[in-house]
Amino acid sequence: MLEILYCLICAPLIGLLLAILAIARRSLTVLAMLVVFGMVSYLSLRHFDDLRTKGRWMLLSRTYESQLLNQPSPANGDLRHMEWDGWGFVGAGETTVYLVYDPSDSLQAMTGIRRTQKPRGVPCAVYSISRLEQHWYSVQFFADTGWDSCN
């Protein structure tokens, strides 16, 4: 939602304002600002999910860590986990991302690679795994798949 608002409203308005200033003042500095703004906007939108995840973890990690570690350990051998993020759209299904505590860092071998394997301690095949810091991971399942409802 945030990236749609940025693409449709904020970026065009700021770009238009900088373009008008560049033409009105015949200023190369304002034109350079327009080019830099365009590049930063493009890179930010291209890596929006990674930036959002890392920023959220950096700001709120202590809260999430305490919430997750205060939960009882799963009895079935699964890793400690909690729902961390999610999104969906009618007809496309719901996508869920879990925050996972892995004391042995066994998930590290699967980070950054999108594959359809089932890691040890996770009940389903996963879409992606990202390492947030030592022992802490975000695990994204495929659409309409949750920790307790593997398809």
| Cα 129 from Cα 109, distance rounded (Å) | 10
Say what percent of the chain tops pLDDT 90. Answer: 23
Q: What is the pLDDT of residue 100?
A: 94
Report if pTM > 0.75.
no
Q: What is the pLDDT of residue 57?
A: 93
| Cα 46 from Cα 60, distance rounded (Å) | 23
Those residues of the chain that have pLDDT short of 50 are: none
In angstroms, the first-to-last Cα distance of the chain is 27
Q: What is the pLDDT of residue 121?
A: 86
